[in-house]
């Protein structure tokens, strides 16, 4: 019986694109995760350039088993630009190394692939093909934010990005607050950093005063912070959110 390789979901650091991207990766990810990453000869990646930068950081902690130039990196299909639909998703091609018996890594630009990032279709295809799937330990901004918020960690929902258009965004915020109150469930969302301030302003405009809002900035970075307070108190001192630091927003309606 032919034995396939393993698809490893390799977490990337959360500091990509920041001034701390050169920090020793051993301070960001577990050593066991880095050891697995260092020996993989094939990768499926959200972004090949970011993956090469990640591997250079891995090499500084755990020497790579082969030169980066000899490591095969294939990018996940990206949404087609200028027209509806997506680029073809050829799971057979992407998973060919694992089918052939070689271990394969799946990585996103930050955090864990397939969680708030591309990759879920590939993981599902791997299961369908009978390929072993292993998620390696590492940082996930969603769970870190929930833990740091003091909100309900027994029941929470990650809802991704909210609509950009003001009216649709306001309606979605009210919908999430209603669901949070009905289910006693924390609602977690993210935004592109340059729109952090706009999302905070929309949340403070639409949420009820007694609702608790938490904002986690720069998780795992040296200056990371989490503020968790009622909307009423947020409105008295909203502060200013940076436009170049990733943020996670969580709310719990009372």
Sequence spans of domains, the chain: 6-135, 141-252
- Who contacts 247 (Cβ-Cβ below 8 Å, separation ≥6)? 190, 191, 193, 196, 215, 216, 217, 218, 241
- The CATH T-level fold of domain 6-135 is Cobalt-precorrin-4 Transmethylase; domain 1 (3.40.1010)
Domain 141-252 has CATH 3.30.950.10: yes
Q: pLDDT band at residue 16, thresholds of 50, 70 and 90?
A: confident
| Separation in Å, CA 150 to CA 69, 102, 202, 216 | 45, 43, 22, 11
Q: Is the pLDDT of residue 131 over 90?
A: yes
* Closest C-alpha to 40, from 30, 27, 55: 55
Give per-residue pLDDT as tens, 103-129. Answer: 999 999 988 888 888 899 999 999 999
pTM: 0.87
Contact 104, 7 (CB under 8 A): yes
pLDDT of residue 93: 93
Beta carbons within 10 angstroms of residue 198's beta carbon: 17
| Strands ordered across the beta sheet of 156-158 | 156-158, 186-191, 247-252, 212-217, 225-230
Supply 47's token pair.
């972004």
Q: pLDDT band at residue 199, thresholds of 50, 70 and 90?
A: very high
Bridge partners of 105? 8, 43
């Amino acid at each position: 019986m032919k034995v396939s390789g393993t698809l490893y979901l390799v977490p990337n650091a959360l500091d990509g694109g920041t001034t701390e991207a050169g920090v020793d990766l051993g301070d960001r990810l577990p050593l066991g995760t880095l050891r697995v990453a260092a020996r993989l000869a094939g990768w499926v990646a959200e972004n090949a350039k970011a993956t090469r930068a990640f591997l250079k950081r891995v090499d500084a902690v755990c020497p790579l088993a082969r030169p980066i130039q000899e490591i095969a990196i294939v990018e996940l299909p990206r949404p087609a630009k200028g027209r509806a639909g997506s680029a073809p998703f050829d799971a057979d091609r992407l998973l060919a190394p694992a089918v052939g018996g070689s271990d394969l890594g799946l990585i996103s630009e930050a955090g864990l692939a397939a969680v708030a990032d591309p990759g879920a279709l590939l993981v599902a295809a791997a299961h369908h093909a009978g390929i072993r799937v292993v998620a390696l330990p590492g940082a996930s901004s969603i769970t870190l934010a929930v833990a740091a918020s003091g909100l309900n960690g027994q029941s929470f929902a990650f809802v991704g990005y909210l609509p950009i258009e003001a009216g649709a965004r306001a309606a979605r915020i009210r919908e999430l607050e209603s669901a949070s109150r009905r289910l006693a469930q924390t609602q977690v969302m993210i935004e592109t950093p340059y729109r952090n301030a706009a999302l905070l302003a929309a949340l403070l405009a639409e949420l009820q005063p007694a609702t608790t809002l938490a904002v986690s900035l720069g998780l795992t970075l040296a200056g990371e912070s989490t503020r968790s307070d009622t909307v009423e108190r947020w409105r008295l001192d909203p502060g200013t959110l940076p436009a170049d630091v990733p943020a996670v927003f969580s709310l719990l309606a009372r």
